[in-house]
């Protein structure tokens, strides 16, 4: 049975969607704004918030760090300084972990490298692994040894890449979720390939499967749930117009709240598959359904013909599907127009008894 426990929350095929508000670097390197995002995510119904941690000097080459950054979303003139400007320090992350816990949410951080993994290990409820590190098997194995749940995105990968990551992690740590993901921001709808969720469910029956969605809407979470996803990760912002690459396609608090609301409604609305009438349907059904009544005034002892019987609402008498039984039976007493056909006639006919 596929199951994952994160901060006391059980995630299985039978549970609602586990909703992660991906703050990422949408705090723009500002702790105050980060706290506002955490608090807003809780109010919007998130089960968890997720941030990112990069130790820039540990994971980028000198050439990449020196690469020029231009454009309206650049926070510095070089890529290395740009990335550093968007980083929160360890104390900041620790503070936000406390905020998340106080608001009743799990705290998840993406570890971009070994140094980052070491620094966040004590504060996170689960590790996130970004798509770019799916093939980084040394990092996967290293993080798995911490013994905490791992959520792994699979953008830009083949099924063989995903299988390799699975084979690396599972012998060490069975607390694994795999997320279908397309590494394009925002993702084009024809490249979502939601049916990969079904592929993963078949290929990895021990794993909870989810979706990391980079579209500019939360709508894809609903079909993802229907296909078997039980984790949804969506970027989260307070303002789509803020400086930064991820704000434009992120969900704002109202959009995120609508997504979580609809997902929880969907979980309940699916039901158990047994087709039964509900008590709430009783009166509306009676009003709208039909029953068999006298089409005109009928004398006692009349042998009923089809012309003697009308089918009219409300449906609190003999149902129309019993019509065949009463044709040819005799009325035990006189009927006026719209009087119910006596119920006993059906039983008499079934017993072969004349009225």
Residue numbers of the domain that contains 17: 11-269
Mean pLDDT in residue range 82-90 = 96
pLDDT at 349: 87
Q: What is the CATH number of the domain that holds 164?
A: 3.20.20.70
- How high is the mean pLDDT of the chain? 96
Both structure tokens of 302: 């009349």
Estimate the crossing angle of helix 31-43 against helix 90-102, to 10 degrees.
Answer: 20
- Final residue of a domain: which of 224, 244, 269? 269
- Cα 1 to Cα 13: distance, rounded to the nearest angstrom: 9
For residues 231 and 208, the answer to whether their CB atoms sit within 8 Å is yes
- One domain, residues 212 and 311: no
Q: Are 107 and 134 within 8 A, CB to CB? A: no
**Are 99 and 192 part of one and the same domain?**
yes
pLDDT at residue number 354: 61
- Supply the CATH number for residue 319's domain: 3.90.1210.10
Could you read off the pLDDT of 122-146 as tens digits, one per residue? 999 999 999 999 999 999 999 999 9
| Mean pLDDT across 152-177 | 98
d(CA 223, CA 233) in angstroms, rounded, equals 14
Q: How far apart (Å, rounded) are the C-alpha atoms in residues 242 and 200?
A: 36
Q: Which residues of the chain form beta strands (DSSP E)?
A: 4-6, 9-11, 18-24, 48-54, 106-112, 126-129, 150-153, 176-181, 208-213, 231-235, 291-294, 309-312
Beta strand 9-11 with 4-6 is: antiparallel
pLDDT at 355 over 60: no
- The reply to whether 220 and 341 lie within a common domain is no
Q: Distance of CA 206 to CAs 3, 13, 171, 177, Å?
A: 7, 11, 12, 9
pLDDT per position as a tens digit, 271-311 = 999 999 999 999 999 999 999 999 999 999 999 999 999 99
Residue 68 has pLDDT above 70, yes or no: yes
> Are 245 and 311 part of one and the same domain?
no
Q: What is the mean pLDDT of residues 157-172?
A: 98
In a domain, 131, yes or no: yes
pLDDT of 316 higher than 60: yes
Do residues 233 and 331 share a domain? no
Location of structure tokens 């993963």: 200
User: Per the structure, how many domains does the chain have?
Assistant: 2
Give me the residues paired with residue 31 across strands.
none
Query: Residue 24 has which token pair?
Result: 């990422």
For residue 216, pLDDT beyond 70: yes
CA distances from 81 to 24, 29, 114, 248 (A): 17, 12, 20, 22
Spatial contact of 29 and 85, defined as CB atoms under 8 Å apart:
yes
Question: Can you tell me the distance from the alpha carbon of 343 to that of 322, in angstroms, rounded to the nearest whole number?
Answer: 10
CB atoms within 10 A of CB 286: 13
Residue 157, C-beta contacts closer than 8 angstroms, at least 6 positions apart: 131, 134, 135
């Amino acid at each position: 049975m596929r199951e994952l426990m994160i901060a006391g929350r059980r995630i299985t095929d039978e549970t609602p969607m586990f909703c992660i508000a991906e703050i990422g670097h949408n705090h723009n390197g500002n702790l105050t704004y980060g706290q506002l995002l955490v608090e807003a995510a809780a109010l919007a119904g998130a089960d968890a918030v997720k941030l990112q941690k990069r130790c820039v000097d540990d994971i980028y080459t000198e050439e990449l760090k020196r690469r020029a950054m231009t454009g309206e979303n650049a926070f510095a003139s070089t890529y290395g300084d740009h990335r550093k400007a968007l980083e929160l320090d360890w104390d900041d992350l620790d503070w936000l972990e406390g905020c998340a816990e106080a608001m009743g949410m799990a705290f998840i951080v993406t570890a971009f490298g070994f140094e980052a993994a070491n620094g966040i290990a004590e504060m996170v409820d689960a590790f996130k692994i970004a798509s770019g590190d799916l093939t980084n098997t040394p990092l996967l194995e290293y993080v798995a040894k911490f013994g905490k749940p791992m959520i792994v995105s699979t953008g830009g990968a083949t099924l063989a890449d995903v299988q390799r990551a699975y084979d690396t992690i599972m012998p060490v740590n069975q607390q694994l979720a795999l997320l279908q993901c397309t590494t394009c921001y925002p993702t084009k709808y024809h490249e979502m390939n939601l049916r990969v969720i079904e592929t993963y469910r078949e290929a990895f029956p021990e794993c909870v499967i989810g979706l990391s969605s980079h579209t500019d809407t939360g709508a894809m979470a609903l079909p993802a749930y229907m296909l078997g996803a039980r984790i949804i990760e969506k970027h989260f912002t307070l303002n789509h117009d803020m400086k930064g690459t991820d704000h434009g396609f992120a969900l704002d608090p109202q959009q995120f709240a609508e997504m979580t609301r609809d997902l929880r409604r969907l979980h309940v609305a699916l039901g158990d598959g047994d087709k039964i009438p509900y008590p709430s349907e009783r009166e509306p059904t009676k009003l709208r359904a039909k029953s068999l009544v006298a089409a005109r005034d009928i004398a006692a002892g009349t042998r009923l013909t089809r012309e003697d019987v009308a089918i009219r609402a409300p449906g609190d008498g003999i149902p129309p599907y019993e019509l065949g039984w009463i044709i040819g039976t005799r009325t035990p007493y006189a009927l006026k127009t719209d009087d119910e056909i006596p119920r006993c006639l059906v039983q008499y006919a079934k017993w072969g008894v004349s009225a």
